[in-house]
Amino acid sequence: MSLSCSAILVGIPFLYPFFYQFNLTWAQELCIYMFVWMAKFGAAYGVRTGIHVGVDVIVNMLQPKIQKKVILFGLFCGAFFTFIVGTMGAKFIIGLYPTDQVSPDLELPRWIIFLCVPLGSYLMCFRFLQVAWNYIRTGELPHHDPGHVEGVVESTAAAKDLAAEELADNGGAR
């Protein structure tokens, strides 16, 4: 799944300027649909990586026991919401299926295009339950690090300095 996301994302920026040049409207439409698909499935992937952040100021101040309940409540709300959206989407698709509606340029059946909503949403629901299950069992939540930068620690001066500092800290503690 993750690979398909990448494949979809990689194609677009490279092809997009060309599409525009030759006014290939079908390709523009394809771009938009690929984006929507990427967004729906990417959102489910995001649950797994813990990138959907919330307001955790209050939660972090709670006592561990209550905190656990509140966090689980949040996760189950997420599963509940995505389940409802998925079901709404599924109903919508079922209504759309017999109508032969097609998209304006690609002439794809519209129900196929919109299939991403129930599929993505149900997957997201599953991910929420998975995260909740893991949290109950191990007490760990996926965590996204917003300040991660590649190729930073390789700076030798920084590494030396940090090492020296750590040494000093440890020495002080002893």
Partner 1 sequence: MNSALIFGGLLALMLTGMPISIALGLTVLTFLFVMTTVPIEAVALKLFTGIESFEIMAIPFFILAGNFLTHGGVARRMIRFATTLVGHWYGGLGLAAVMACALFAAISGSSPATVVAIGSILLPAMVQAGYPKRFGAGVIATSGALGILIPPSIVMVLYAVATGGSVALDPTGHRVGSASVAQLFMAGVIPGLILAFLLGMTTFYRAWKGNYPRMAMATWLESLVAFRDSIWGLLLIVLVLGGIYTGLFTPTEAAAVSAVYAFVVAVFVYGDLKLADIPRVLLSSANMSAMILYIITNAVLFSFLMTSEQIPQSITAWATSSGIGQVEFLLFVNVLLLVAGNVMEPSSIVLITAPILFPVAVGLGVHPVHLGILMTVNMEVGLCHPPVGLNLYVASGIARMGITELTVAVWPWLLTMLGFLFVVTYVPELSLWLPRTLGMLY
- Residue with tokens 């959907």, as numbered in its chain: 52
Residue 148 binds partner 1, judged by CB under 8 A: yes
Which position among 25, 99, 101, 155 is part of the footprint of partner 1 (CB under 8 A)?
155
Residue 162 binds partner 1, judged by CB under 8 A: yes
Task: Kindly determine how many residues on this chain lie close enough to bind partner 1 according to the rule CB under 8 A.
Answer: 69
What is the footprint of partner 1 within residues 58-87 (CB under 8 A)?
Answer: 58-59, 70-71, 73-75, 77-78, 80-82, 84-85
How does 142-157 read in b/e, with b if 16+ C-beta sit within 10 Å?
Answer: beeeeeeeeeeeeeee
Measure the N-to-C terminal CA separation of the chain; round to a whole number of Å. 50
- CA dist 29 to 78, 102, 103, 106, Å? 31, 12, 9, 7
Residue 154 CB, nearest distance to partner 1 (Å)?
A: 6
Query: From residue 95 to residue 134, what is the string marking binding to partner 1 with x (rule CB under 8 A)?
Result: -------------------x--x-----------------
- Residue with tokens 């191990």, as numbered in its chain: 138
In this structure, are residues 5 and 45 in contact, taking their beta carbons and an 8 Å threshold? yes
Which position among 14, 63, 104, 140 is part of the footprint of partner 1 (CB under 8 A)?
14
Residue 136 binds partner 1, judged by CB under 8 A: no
